[in-house]
Chains A and B, each alone.
Chain A
């Protein structure tokens, strides 16, 4: 079972405006509607401080603090246990991919962002979100 995209809050973090637009457009095509964006880790932290997100799309390299470092920080905070982190990056080495997954990325998408690959990966992330919600529900019940 997958989570319903229209019920999820999403944050897209990338320093390139065009990549934020591309990701946002792909998400809207999949039925997401609650989408915030941020250009830096600092801006993202401000947004995350005032609201909760279900999925965070994050670029590895950002000006200032990297997206990788931000994700690591978040993963140390229990508040983000059920949040999916999707690394959207130009880093295409297997080494980077493994490093990101070890650091807590739920999925890894290599730029250029291609609609069919993006959609396939995000569908799997929706499954992950649904499973985490079930687990959390079972825990709290």
Chain B
């Protein structure tokens, strides 16, 4: 079993799983062309049209992994328009549902990866948070995974950023 001290290796594995699962979920299930745009040092800048979904993986011995998914609402709106009539596709609750569904799928894959290392992580149900309630995802240990999408009007804008941090200390809510 690898200890949480093998953090660098675990973080690399998790980054790969997050990237492949996000791309597979959007391209294969939700009908949107999303590509991994790289690992950056900085978190997403502040913008008003964003939806945040948070996720906490936790195990009894105090190790935890905090995830924050920052979606451009336009990506969620376009996804919603693929599945719902126009009026319903504009509803915020529909966008939040998609955000949490994506976070849930990604989180489950990460949990499975961590548990293959011999850990016993449990995953809480993902939830939507306002920007004021978000954790400060800063510091050298935080990974920022950026994803772009094929919307011309949003060129250069992140469709999604997944920030995550793993810690042996018990962390608070995302």
Closest to A117 in B: B28
Closest beta carbon of chain B to A117's beta carbon, Å:
9
Contact across chains for B100 and A22 when beta carbons are under 8 A apart = no
Contact across chains for B24 and A16 when beta carbons are under 8 A apart = no
Across the interface, A17 reaches (CB within 8 A) one of B94, B104, B105, namely B94
Across the interface, B29 reaches (CB within 8 A) one of A17, A22, A89, A93, namely A22
Bound-state CA distance A12–B21 (Å) is 23
Contact across chains for B24 and A112 when beta carbons are under 8 A apart = yes
Closest beta carbon of chain A to B167's beta carbon, Å:
23
Give the size category of B's interface with A: 20 to 34
Contact across chains for A93 and B115 when beta carbons are under 8 A apart = yes
Contact across chains for B30 and A90 when beta carbons are under 8 A apart = no
A82 contacts partner chain B, Cβ-Cβ < 8 Å: no
Bound-state CA distance A114–B20 (Å) is 14
Interface of chain B residues 98 through 112 with chain A (CB within 8 A): 98, 100-101, 104-105, 107-109, 112
A50 contacts partner chain B, Cβ-Cβ < 8 Å: no
CB contacts (< 8 Å) of B84 on chain A: these are 21
| Smallest CB-CB A-B distances: 6 pairs | A90-B108, A112-B29, A16-B101, A112-B25, A21-B83, A114-B28
What are some 24 contacts across the A-B interface (CB < 8 A)?
A16-B104, A18-B80, A18-B83, A18-B94, A18-B98, A18-B101, A19-B101, A22-B83, A61-B125, A63-B125, A89-B108, A90-B105, A90-B109, A92-B108, A92-B109, A92-B112, A93-B112, A111-B25, A111-B104, A111-B105, A112-B21, A112-B105, A113-B29, A114-B24
